[in-house]
Amino acid sequence: MIMFKFKMNPIAKKTNIANFYIIFRSLTQNYVKETVNAHEVEHHSNMKDYWWNNNGPLNALHSFNPLRVSFIINGLTNMKKIETKNIGTRQSLENIKILDVGCGGGVLTEALARLDGHVTGIDPSKELITIANDHSMFLRNKNIKYLNESIEEHVISNPESYDAIVTSEVLEHVSNKYGFLTNCVDCLKPGGSLFITTPNRTMFSWLSVKVIGETFNFIPKGTHEWEKFICPHELQSILEINCKCDTISINGLSYNPFTNRWSWTDSTDISYAIHAVKST
Amino acid sequence: MMLLNSSAKRLYLSLGNVVNYSSSKKYYDIVITGGGMVGCAMACKLAKEPALRGMSILLLEGGTNRNQYDFNAKKNTLDNSYSNRVSAVNKSTIQLLQSVGAWQIISDLGLCNAVKEMRIWNSGGGRSGGVNNMLTFNNDDDLAYIVENDIILGALYKQINEEQSITVNYNSRVNQCSLPDSHKDLATVKVANEETSFETSLLIGSDGYGSKVRSAINGQQYISWEYGQRAVVATLRIQSDEDDIYKGHVAWQKFAQLGPLAVLPLDNKTCSLVWTTSYEEANRLAELNDNEFIDALNDGLSEEKESNNSSLLLADDAAGIVSKVLNKYCQYNNDNQNRKIKSTPPVVIDVIKDSRASFPLGFGHACQYVGQRVALVGDAAHRIHPLAGQGVNLGFNDVIELSNQLNHSVLAGADIGDLNALLNYETAAQRHNVPIMLGVDAIQKIYGSSNNIVPPAITTLIRNVGLSFCQSASIIKKLLSDKASGLPV
């Protein structure tokens, strides 16, 4: 493998450094077949005790819900997926099949189910799926299903079967982004929407997510590896070139830890949300 | 095994729910305790919110069934008999009542009276007869509306009865409520003298200043004090002044030595009185017969006996000079300043039989409006002095804020009792309420009480200059009336 990398070098030198970096990353990442990293799963499984604690260490994740749910609903409304009578009601996701990849304890999954979506949540962590399942008891008569499997296992039995796929704050924990995203898109019906939120890989995000966030406990320590973050243009190129998707929108996100509130911004420097549609 | 275990648990839990339903626990999405004006408005507003459509709402009212309020009887009686409890509702409250369809009922029947001008003056006016230090508010729009509390309640109950999703339980005083520690459990309310208790995702406490719900909130701190004053209320007949362009639409308020005295117009001839005074004086007034009461009231409204005290006269003259100076510099934006204000104060000619009553006054503020699956609105969260007529408006503002936040959060897929949404409500409501409450309390402290530390002449001077200053500085005046309107400025 080292030899191979050396052989790549002369080619890379002809282009610029940034390009080399992308090629380097994609090459190294392709060697990891699995989209699931054992130590990431273990780290997140350890959060099971306070996952659903509103005021606990994950309160930023809870307060993120209004924004990401409205992002999904607005995206689906724009794609004319939501029936007119359901717009602006509690039934806005009626009859829409949604897959939440990396659902964790089900914070977002339940919100989508409460809006009458047919939601399936998958996560490689057995512990988190268990607490998600336990917690979903509080929803009466809602279509919610949790499976303890990875996306590459799920795609085998569910190709082209979802109207929307949501993977929120997950991509930054995945090494093999290419494999992960192609599997996600394979689960989508043609014309279906893919919603992703993830932090950017910039100096700002390193400062805010790693340094400030983890030092002051806005985010549990060791949750993020900055090196694995992905920039919007990288993500966009994978989606458009490899996955045959069209990017509909990329929106910047920011979080105020003092008011515990998320908001949209023009800058994607810290974190962003992307909406892409699988071409028909 | 794991799977079996969890499905067994699920079955058990769902069975548990079924058992709960059939036994003595009934589930409602929202339970509102206290069917006063604010509680009823809350129920109506939530039922009309498109995002919350279909949610079951239970309103627990301690009193007897009052949904038979007969508006037509009210309209047809020639001799209008007004209730002695009235509210001055501001524009924001009117918008709320309009949005639930209650205001249309009230205004169609003409059961509200617009206040077009407010005249505020201070005691100790001395030789000038109080004209020196008169603060007047008048707007092209109406400042506020005076409506009887019973009318607002009647209109709200009429709307509530038309809503399928609202259940009203009368004679249901809350006995005990237990709030959950985490969002995984529901709040439970027990009603006195009844077997059943109610489970709910969101408990809204609108049960007045002695709220049971408030004291159930964990770590609650309630800041309160009594003013040592009572409000004497009555319905009055006054001599109508034919020359006054705002005839029947003028509210008077006098800051007398013992506390503010407000006369609010119900129609051309009838007014409602809110007379804040000391306990002893209130007791004395209660003893008087109607004629003696009218005399005492007219004495209170006109100049007082102590106005021949030389130091007070001096203070009045000083205030007169200040107001003249201020007027001179602020004349350009005060063209109505020179308009002759006639018939200050109103002359009371009669008091409606059996309309006299009195109640104690106090200040109270809950540090926490919300908790896990619980929110407080209205007097349960805050209680203020009636001198600015803001108490019920603050309560209605809570209704607006809470229903807004719930609407947003439910549309974003959150549980109805989601703590984040409730905390947002708390922030918004307190940001609105606390400045008004402190302002009203400060006015009460400066104008409403007599103390022995500061000589009366000085307090009179400060009070008069304060009024003159507000009268002259149109910016402050606009600020005050905008704040009182309750609308975002």
Q: In sequence order, what DSSP letters do the residues of A5-69 get, joined into one string?
A: HHHHHHHHHHS-HHHHHHHHHHHHHHT---S--HHHHHHHHTTTTTTT-TTSTTHHHHHTHHHHH
Q: Which two tokens stand for residue A38?
A: 């054992």
Alpha-carbon gap: A46 to the closest alpha carbon of chain B (Å) = 18
Chain centroid offset of residue A33 CA:
19
Q: According to the model, what pLDDT value does residue A181 have?
A: 93
Write the CB contacts of A123 (distance below 8 Å, at least 6 apart in sequence). Answer: A102, A103, A104, A129, A132, A146, A148
What single-letter amino acid sits at B260?
Answer: P
Sign of the C-alpha dihedral computed for residues A243, A246, A249 and A250 taken in this order: positive
What single-letter amino acid sits at A92?
Answer: S
State ipTM: 0.80
pLDDT, tens digit (0-9, with 9 covering 90-100), for B415-447: 898 888 999 999 999 999 998 888 888 888 777
pLDDT, tens digit (0-9, with 9 covering 90-100), for A30-46: 455 567 888 888 888 88
Residue of B nearest to A92 (CA): B411
Q: According to the model, what pLDDT value does residue B10 have?
A: 46
Per-residue pLDDT, averaged over B50-67, amounts to 84
Does residue A228 lie in a domain region?
Answer: yes
Residue B208: count other Cβ atoms within 10 Å of its Cβ.
18
Instruction: Indicate yes or no: CB of B182 within 8 angstroms of CB of A110.
Output: no
Residue of A nearest to B11 (CA): A137
| Chosen from B6, B21, B202 to mutate, greatest number of chain A CBs within 10 A | B6
Q: According to the model, what pLDDT value does residue A17 have?
A: 53
Lowest mean pLDDT among A108-117, B341-350, B376-385, B439-448: B341-350
- Per CB-CB distance under 8 Å, the chain A contacts of B54 are 90
Question: Nearest Cα to A24, choosing from A33, A35, A15?
Answer: A15
Chain centroid offset of residue B152 CA:
12
A172 is in an annotated binding site: yes
Does residue A1 lie in a domain region?
Answer: no
- Per CB-CB distance under 8 Å, the chain B contacts of A70 are 411-412
Question: Nearest Cα to B391, choosing from B361, B370, B367, B371?
Answer: B361
Beta bridge partners of B118: B137, B251
Is a pLDDT exceeding 60 seen at residue B308? no
- Per CB-CB distance under 8 Å, the chain A contacts of B415 are 114, 138
Does residue A255 lie in a domain region?
Answer: yes
Confidence tier at B17 by pLDDT (50, 70, 90): very low
Give the CA radius of gyration of chain A: 19
A179 is in an annotated binding site: no
Q: How far is CA B80 from CA A65, B70, B268, in A?
A: 55, 14, 12
By three-state DSSP, how is residue A265 classified? strand
| Chosen from B1, B55, B183, B427 to mutate, greatest number of chain A CBs within 10 A | B183
Q: At what angle do helices B419-447 and B456-472 cross, to 10 degrees?
A: 120
Q: For chain A, what percent of residues have pLDDT higher than 70?
A: 88
Interface A-B: count of C-beta contacts within 8 A: 63
Q: Is A130 on the interface with B (CB under 8 A)?
A: yes
- Per CB-CB distance under 8 Å, the chain A contacts of B182 are 52-54
Instruction: Indicate yes or no: CB of B184 within 8 angstroms of CB of A52.
Output: yes
Sign of the C-alpha dihedral computed for residues B77, B79, B83 and B88 taken in this order: positive
Range of the domain at A172: 10-278
A140 is in an annotated binding site: no
Which residue has tokens 């707007």? B139
Sign of the C-alpha dihedral computed for residues A266, A270, A271 and A275 taken in this order: positive
CB-closest option in A55, A130, A138 to B184: A138
Helix residue ranges per DSSP H, B113-209: 149-162
Rounded CA-CA distance A246/A279 in Å is: 7
Alpha-carbon gap: B93 to the closest alpha carbon of chain A (Å) = 25
Instruction: Indicate yes or no: CB of B409 within 8 angstroms of CB of A110.
Output: no
Q: Which two tokens stand for residue A216?
A: 């002051």
CATH number, domain with residue A183: 3.40.50.150
Confidence tier at B482 by pLDDT (50, 70, 90): confident
Which of B393 and B354 is assigned the larger pLDDT?
A: B393
Rounded CA-CA distance A73/B175 in Å is: 42
Q: How many domains does chain A have?
A: 1
Rounded CA-CA distance A6/A184 in Å is: 33
A168 is in an annotated binding site: yes
Residue of B nearest to A132 (CA): B6
Rounded CA-CA distance B158/B181 in Å is: 37
Beta bridge partners of B191: B174
Q: Which two tokens stand for residue A229?
A: 């973050």
Q: Is A264 on the interface with B (CB under 8 A)?
A: no
Q: According to the model, what pLDDT value does residue A13 have?
A: 44
Alpha-carbon gap: A240 to the closest alpha carbon of chain B (Å) = 29
Q: According to the model, what pLDDT value does residue A5 have?
A: 44
Q: According to the model, what pLDDT value does residue B343 have?
A: 47
**Count of alpha carbons within 13 angstroms of residue B289, beta-carbon side:** 1
Q: B49-78 as b/e, with b when 16 or more CB fall inside 10 Å? A: bebbeebbbbbbbbeeeeeeeebeebeeee
Does residue A4 lie in a domain region?
Answer: no
Residue of B nearest to A50 (CA): B182
Is a pLDDT exceeding 60 seen at residue B340? no
Q: Evaluate the omega torsion of the peptide bond into residue A257 and state whether it is cis, within 30 degrees of 0.
A: no
Instruction: Indicate yes or no: CB of A130 within 8 angstroms of CB of B9.
Output: no
A263 is in an annotated binding site: no
Q: Is A88 on the interface with B (CB under 8 A)?
A: yes
Q: For chain B, what percent of residues have pLDDT higher than 70?
A: 76
- Per CB-CB distance under 8 Å, the chain A contacts of B184 are 52, 135, 138
**Which helix (H) or strand (E) element contains residue A249?**
strand A245-256
Please identify every stretch of chain A with a pLDDT value under 70, giving residue numbers as ranges: 1-34
Instruction: Indicate yes or no: CB of A66 within 8 angstroms of CB of B54.
Output: no
Alpha-carbon gap: A188 to the closest alpha carbon of chain B (Å) = 23
What single-letter amino acid sits at B416?
Answer: I
Write the CB contacts of B151 (distance below 8 Å, at least 6 apart in sequence). Answer: B74, B106, B111, B112
Query: Is B456 in contact with B256 (CB distance < 8 Å)?
Result: no
Question: Nearest Cα to B148, choosing from B267, B41, B297, B275?
Answer: B267
Q: Which two tokens stand for residue A11?
A: 């080619």
Q: Which two tokens stand for residue A183?
A: 């599997």
Q: According to the model, what pLDDT value does residue B450 have?
A: 60
Q: Is A134 on the interface with B (CB under 8 A)?
A: yes
Long-range contacts, stretch A37-42, CB < 8 angstroms, 24+ apart: A37/A173, A37/A174, A37/A175, A40/A173, A41/A124, A41/A125
Which domains are seen in chain B, by residue range?
Answer: 25-327+344-481 (3.50.50.60)
pLDDT, tens digit (0-9, with 9 covering 90-100), for B138-164: 666 777 899 988 889 989 999 998 888
Query: Is B48 in contact with B99 (CB distance < 8 Å)?
Result: yes
